Structure 1
Amino acid sequence: MKLFLPKQHGAWAMTIIPFWLGVVDGGFLWEHIPFFIGWIFLYLATYPMLLLFKKKKIEFYKKWTMIYMIPALLFLLFPLLKMPSIIMFGLLMVPFFLINAYYTSINKDRALINDFSAIFAFSIAGLASSYLGKGLISYETILIFIASVLFFIGCTFYVKTMIREKKNIQFKWISWGYHALLLIISLTFGYWIVAIAFLPSLIRAMIFYGKTLSPMKIGIYEIINSTLFFVVIIIQIVFLK
């Protein structure tokens, strides 16, 4: 049986990076392993679940929603039993899921608001994994959450300038200005390590703009950029501790 998998390959970085940054921040517990597995299955389940709102191939999407949702719920029982209050993070994700469902139902999956909503939901997973480790949401945790949200919003702007908005000069300046602003704000508040984490994003947004890159090459460069962000933010976490 061929697996039914999400087509948004960039979403995998958003699924993985905030979660493990939260683990680094909060401290690793063995429950993080089933938590992460459950989180992956939950992400896989939301893809066919959202497609149900298109009201096409209902039975097919129902089947795949259940195939992924059942193991998701089973694995997520481990962190829930460890710390029942962690369910609040799942509830925080619900409004963002509803936004995604709305945009899916009107066939505007690529709308910016839809992308931003997904980014917030993915980043909330980082809050949850950190909370599981230390039982509270600290200032450092909030900083990591904000950094993750801002980074992936930048990725969204960049990818759009390379594909769907590549002929939109106004969008180019929005992307460049946004990435530059991230550096300025980080340095203004004294977070020079965070500024370093954002720097490769600005460089690639400017250097690659206007170049003809295949979606595969764009994806590969984004994996490299996301890895750099992940490593540097870990250094920031260690520095704050």
Structure 2
Amino acid sequence: MKLFLPKQHGAWAMLIIPFWLGAVASTIIWQHIPFFLGWLLLYLATYPMLLLFKKKKIPFYTKWTLIYLLPALILLLIPLWTRPGIAYFGFAMVPFFLLNSYFSSRNRDRALLNDMSAVVVFSIAGLASSFLGGGEVSKQAWMVFITSIIFFMGSTFYVKTMIREKKSTTYKWVSWGYHLAAVCSFLFAGEWLIAFAFLPSLGRAIYFYGKNYSVKKVGILEIVNAVLFFIIIFFWIVQK
């Protein structure tokens, strides 16, 4: 049976990076493994679940929602048993999921606000991962939360300038200004290593703009950029 998988390839980086940086910002324990697997399956379940709101192919999407959702819930019981308070992070995600549901029902999956909502949800997972390890959300974990939102929102702006909004000068200046502001803000805050983590994003937003790259090539370059971000923020956490 061929797996029914999300088409938003960029979401895989959002799934992995905040979660594991949040874990590193606390204490990694064995329960992080079933937690991540459950989180992965929950993400896979939300793809067909959101498509249900389009009111098409209901039996097909229901089947795949259940295929992913049931094992996800079983796996997520392990971290919930370890830290019952982790449920609050799940509650915090609900309003954003409802917002995603609204945009899905209106066939506006590519709306900027819909993208922002998804970024926040993935970033909250980093807070939950940190809480699982230490029973609290550390200062480093909050910084992971903030930097993850800033990074992936920047990625959203950049990708739009390369694909759907590549002829929009407004999006170009928003993207360039946003990335420059991110670097400058962390420099002014004295967090030079975090500022350095955003330099590749600033460089690619300016240098690659206007180039006729395929969607695949844009995606590959974003993976490279996300790996660099992960490595630098990882070292920032460790040296703290």
- After TM superposition, the score normalised by the length of structure 2 is 0.99
Q: Determine if the alignment matches structure 1 residue 190 to structure 2 residue 190.
A: yes
C-alpha RMSD over aligned residues = 0.6
Match of 1:29 in 2: 29
CA distance in 1, matches of 2:107, 2:18: 28
Q: Determine if the alignment matches structure 1 residue 207 to structure 2 residue 207.
A: yes
- 1:6 maps to a residue whose letter is P
CA distance in 2, matches of 1:109, 1:218: 19
Match of 1:155 in 2: 155
- 1:213 maps to a residue whose letter is Y
Q: Determine if the alignment matches structure 1 residue 216 to structure 2 residue 179.
A: no
Match of 2:44 in 1: 44
Match of 1:10 in 2: 10
* Structure 2 unaligned regions, length at least 5: none
Deviation at 1:141, TM superposition (A): 1.3
Cα pair 2:130 2:138 within 8 Å, conserved: no
Deviation at 1:27, TM superposition (A): 1.2
1:86-134 deviation digits (Å, cap 9, x = unpaired): 0111111000000000000001000000000000000000000000011
Equivalent pairs counted in the alignment come to 240
Deviation at 1:139, TM superposition (A): 1.9
Cα pair 2:176 2:202 within 8 Å, conserved: yes
Deviation at 1:238, TM superposition (A): 1.3
Deviation at 1:239, TM superposition (A): 2.0
CA distance in 2, matches of 1:7, 1:208: 23
* Secondary structure in structure 2 of the residue aligned to 1:26: coil
Cα pair 2:26 2:138 within 8 Å, conserved: no
Matches within 5 A, 1:1-241: 1-240=1-240
1:182-219 deviation digits (Å, cap 9, x = unpaired): 00100010010100110000000011000010111111
CA distance in 2, matches of 1:133, 1:22: 9
Deviation at 1:38, TM superposition (A): 0.3
1:149-193 deviation digits (Å, cap 9, x = unpaired): 000000000000000000001110000000000001000100101
Counting aligned pairs with the same residue, the percent is 62
* Structure 1 unaligned regions, length at least 5: none
CA distance in 2, matches of 1:77, 1:107: 33
Deviation at 1:45, TM superposition (A): 0.2
1:36-68 deviation digits (Å, cap 9, x = unpaired): 000000000000000010011111111000000
Deviation at 1:137, TM superposition (A): 1.3
